[in-house]
Structure 1
Amino acid sequence: MKLSLSLSLAAARPTLTVLPPSRDELQQGKATVVCVGSKGFPSDWKLSWKVDGSSRSSAVNLSPSVLQKDGLYSWSSSLSLTESEWSRATTISCDATHPSQNAVTESLNTRQCDDQ
């Protein structure tokens, strides 16, 4: 039973949600963008960031995978920017990649966040 469960979950691509920084944080001159991946399997999906199409590996904090009660995994990653980097950026993307699966990408249009 456990083996068949693992096989049926082998292709579970995570759902990504990208959350913008809070207005309070921006007023302090900082901008932390958070990417939450959920309902993925197996546990070794990797989250990475792009700002206007350019990969960002610095100022990234990646949390380890967490096994949920449903047998699927969740992840989170945060990207720290200055307020000026945030204000210059147009699109911030979070990518989830796994060697045996197609990548999953979720993007945040920073101009739409200005209306919050």
Structure 2
Amino acid sequence: MCLANKGFPSDWTLSWKVDGSSSGSSWEETRSPGVLETDGRYSWSSTLRIPANEWTNAGSVTCEAKQGSQSPVIETLRRDQCPQS
């Protein structure tokens, strides 16, 4: 799950990359609309679901928040940072 908050205006978008690839036919993305908070800024969330075998082979997952021509805000999680189950 990727959470973004304190954004303005409301037209930010969240997108995902797995190992640098921005789409996968077996990926399921669920995005929330922007929610106006009491401070006048917005928050969003996006959840990415990928099959277990793709996650096992993945090196990293990246969430990117973009708005217009501004530089994107990028967070990357390497699989080796996650607890093994």
TM (norm. structure 1) is: 0.66
2:75 corresponds, among 103, 106, 110, to 106
Matched residue of 1:87: which SS?
helix
Task: Within 5 Å, give how 1:88-103 maps onto structure 2.
Answer: 88-103=57-72
Matched residue of 2:22: which SS?
strand
Take 2:80 and 2:4, find their aligned partners in 1: how far apart are those partners? 23
Give the aligned partner of residue 23 of structure 2: 56
Structure having greater relative contact order (Cα 8 Å, sep ≥ 6)? 2
2:51 corresponds, among 68, 78, 82, to 82
1:71 corresponds, among 21, 40, 43, to 40
Take 1:82 and 1:45, find their aligned partners in 2: how far apart are those partners? 27
4+ residue runs of structure 1 moved beyond 6 angstroms?
none
Instruction: Please tell me the residue identity of whatever aligns with 1:72.
Output: R
TM (norm. structure 2) is: 0.89
Consecutive unaligned residues of structure 2, counting only runs of 5 or more, are: none
State the number of aligned residues. 83
Structure having the higher helix fraction is 1
Give the aligned partner of residue 40 of structure 1: 7
Instruction: Report percent identity of matched pairs.
Output: 49
Indicate the RMSD between aligned Cα atoms, in angstroms: 1.6
Compute the displacement of 1:85 (Å). Answer: 1.1
Consecutive unaligned residues of structure 1, counting only runs of 5 or more, are: 1-33
Compute the displacement of 1:113 (Å). Answer: 0.2
Q: Retained in 2: the 8 A contact 1:48–1:56? A: no
